[in-house]
Structures are given as C-alpha cells and as structure tokens.
Amino acid sequence: MRRADGAGWRRGAVLGVLVLLAAVTLPTAAWAGSAAPGEPACEVRDARLTELSGMVAIDDGFVVINDGAENEARRRIFFLDRSCAVVRAVPYPTRPLDTEDLAVGADGTVWVADIGDNDRSRETIAMWKLAPGADRPVLHRMSYPDGPHDAEAMLVTADGRPLVVSKFTGNLYAPTGALRPGATVPLAKVGQVRLPASTTSNPYGLLGRSAITGAATAPDGRRVVLRTYADAFEFDVAGGDVVAALTGGTPRATPLPNEPQGESISYAADGRSLLTVSETADQPPGTRPTILRYPLAGPAPSGSPTATPEPTGATPADSSAAGEDGGSRVVLVAALAAGALGVLFIAVALLARARRRPRSEG
C-alpha cells in the first residue's frame, strides 16, 4: 500500500477500503487457529528498505521491493544475501507508480507487479520484467476489463502468465495475450477467490483479515499461497491450474499474528516453510524489517497432487455444527458485519481526504 498523504492517510485508507470489503464480501464462517509468531530469519538493516511490499526467496538470498517510494534511491529491485544484506540494486528506467508484489519465473526472470491503486484511478497497471543478468527491467502494460482495481498480489503461472489478485474483491485477472513492451494488453477476469474468515490478531483488527496483500508460488509449482494482514492461505495446485486451485480448492491456514503491516510473502527456497516481511515506515524509530519464517500448516505434497485435501491445523468452522460453538460463530459474523457498517461513514470521510498523486510510467 502506498503512502499518499502521510502516515495518517496511509492507515486511514487501509481502514476505509477494508471496511468496504468487509461490508460486501464477509465470509460466513470463521476459524481460530494457534497464532504463534514467526521465527526471525534475518533483519534488513539497509535504510532504503522500510516499505517492503514484495519479496521472493531465491537460492542465495532474497529479492525485495519497496512500494511506491518517494525517495529515488528506494525505487530499485533489491537483491539480498542470506543475511539480508543488499548485494545488488537494479533501478527502473522510468518511475514506477506503486510496486506491490514480486515473483520469479521458471527461467529466472524477476516479475515486479506495479499494480497498486489506492484511489482506483489508474487507466493501466504494469509488470516489470527483469531477465537473468539484465541491468534494467522492461515495462509491460495491462488494462482491466471492468474499471480500476487496487491490487497487491500477483502470481506467475507455469506457462509464464501473470495472475493479478485484486485486494478487496479477490477477483483474478489474467492477460488475454502475450505481454509486449510498448503495448497495453487487455486483462480478462478468470475467477474469484474467497478466503475463510479468521480471528487472528493484527494491527487492523477484524478488518485486516480480509484484504489480500501478497501471493507466492512454491518452488515446485504445486502450491500457491495468498496472504492478508493476518493470515496465509495455502492451496494445492493440480496440473498447473492455479485458477482452479484458487477458485475451487480448500486452503490450509497459517496465522501471521501481529505483523506491523504484512504485505509480503514467499516460500523458502526449499519450499518447506513460508517467509514474510512487513513494512516498518510507520513503526517506532529504529524498527527494522525482519524476515520471519513460519512452518507450513500441512506437509508439502509428495508425488503428483490429486484432490485438494481437507485443511489441517487451523480449520474453517463447520457452519452447520450444532451447539454453543456454532452459535458463537453466528454471533461473531453478525458482529463483524455490524462493525463494518458502523465505520463505513468514517471510511468514506478518510478516502475523501486523499490527495491525487502525480501520474507516472506505471
């Protein structure tokens, strides 16, 4: 999420849009899992890296990006070693607008998703592709079929096609043709993902459990994960069909409790754990981004995946269950909806105060 008018606007915008989401797409059941904090892997000490919105693990370290940083020195694709030290920083040839997620293709190409749009005003979104060994990424533009969307999550399918996941509706969009530099390729809506509700503690409360803020693909391509500010939801992928997995699969849930502003997620290079990192720009002075490691909610699949298994660990509640527990879930859902509606007017007021940012190449 990009800062538009200081820290107050940043958090106000998050609250406002999450309110709108909760009021429209609130799931019908909630689960409560064991929310243990992640294990620190390494601490990012470079002062340029405080708004980390995208990360991917590679064999010798990590690749990370800031979201739409105002400081020119922060507008880079940063390569880190395993201790989180910067070893390479690749600039963009023109200014990106709001870079939000990262992926690495099977051929080693780094994909940067320039897809953020807080005020939903962009005519196009973009992908920057950095080929292995290249010193500049190449810009590719795309356009939605149904008007602007804010998005912070992107996956790259086995056939090299980006899949954009909208932040507030879970809509899935894919290009209708091959991406070409200098051209704008139309997107098509190819599905919608609906995540289970949860009770995981996070800085945005009940509203921080709905917005989709990051995505990643396992190194073997047989699993994908979507994250919110509160949780990670992992889907098994059969036959390389990511859309079918997201629209028809049952996810396994991993709580990501109390991350300051969690927008990044990646599988570890060996595929055996999940890695996250948060933005720290609004945290107390001296707070540094820390890459956290979480164990997978279930075992990595062996052999060719078949049917999507029932979730393990933190499990969506059975809405048909009888007794006091089932009644409590109904009350919880009603409370969530009432809370969302109760702050809707505040959200509208906050959004109205936003300043329009200068346009850029993204």
Output the DSSP codes for 310-360. Answer: PP-BB----TT--SHHHHHHHHHHHHHHHHHHHTHHHHHHHHHTPPPPPP-
- Residue 207 is predicted with a pLDDT of 80
| Mean pLDDT calculated for residue range 304-312 | 33
Cβ atoms of 122 and 113 within 8 Å: the answer is no
For residue 46, the one-letter residue type is: D
- Residue 34 is predicted with a pLDDT of 62
| Mean pLDDT calculated for residue range 261-280 | 97
* pLDDT band at residue 319 under the 50/70/90 scheme: very low
> Would you put residue 13 in left (φ > 0), alpha (ψ -120 to 50) or beta?
alpha
Give the residues across from 166 on adjacent strands.
151
Q: Which of 14-18, 201-205, 278-282, 358-362 has the lowest mean pLDDT?
A: 14-18
**Percentage of residues in the chain with pLDDT exceeding 90?**
67
How many Cα neighbours within 13 Å face the side chain of 57? 25
- 3-class SS of residue 96: coil
Report CA Rg, the chain.
19
Burial call 114-152: b when 16+ CB within 10 Å, e when fewer: bbbbbbeebebbbbbbbeeeeeebebbbbbbeeebbbbb
pLDDT above 60 for 287: yes
- Report phi then psi at 123, rounded to 5: -80, -30
| Mean pLDDT calculated for residue range 11-20 | 44
pLDDT above 60 for 347: no
- Residue 51 is predicted with a pLDDT of 95
* pLDDT band at residue 282 under the 50/70/90 scheme: confident
* pLDDT band at residue 68 under the 50/70/90 scheme: confident
**Per-chain mean pLDDT for the chain:** 81
| Mean pLDDT calculated for residue range 113-128 | 97
Give the residues across from 185 on adjacent strands.
142
* pLDDT band at residue 205 under the 50/70/90 scheme: confident
- Residue 17 is predicted with a pLDDT of 45
pLDDT above 60 for 331: no
Report strand pairing: 262-267 vs 273-278. Answer: antiparallel
pLDDT above 90 for 5: no
* H-helix or E-strand spanning residue 160: none
* pLDDT band at residue 53 under the 50/70/90 scheme: very high
| Mean pLDDT calculated for residue range 225-240 | 97
- Residue 1 is predicted with a pLDDT of 59
* pLDDT band at residue 358 under the 50/70/90 scheme: very low
**Mapped to the 3 state alphabet, what secondary structure does 189-250 carry?**
EEEECCCCEECCCCCCHHHHHCCCCEEEECCCCCEEEEECCCEEEEEECCCCCHHHHHHHCC
Question: How far is residue 268's CA from residue 214's CA, in Å, rounded to a whole number?
Answer: 15
pLDDT above 90 for 350: no
- Residue 281 is predicted with a pLDDT of 87
* pLDDT band at residue 313 under the 50/70/90 scheme: very low
The residues, any chain, with a CB within 8 Å of residue 189's CB and separated by 6 or more, are 145, 146, 171, 172, 173
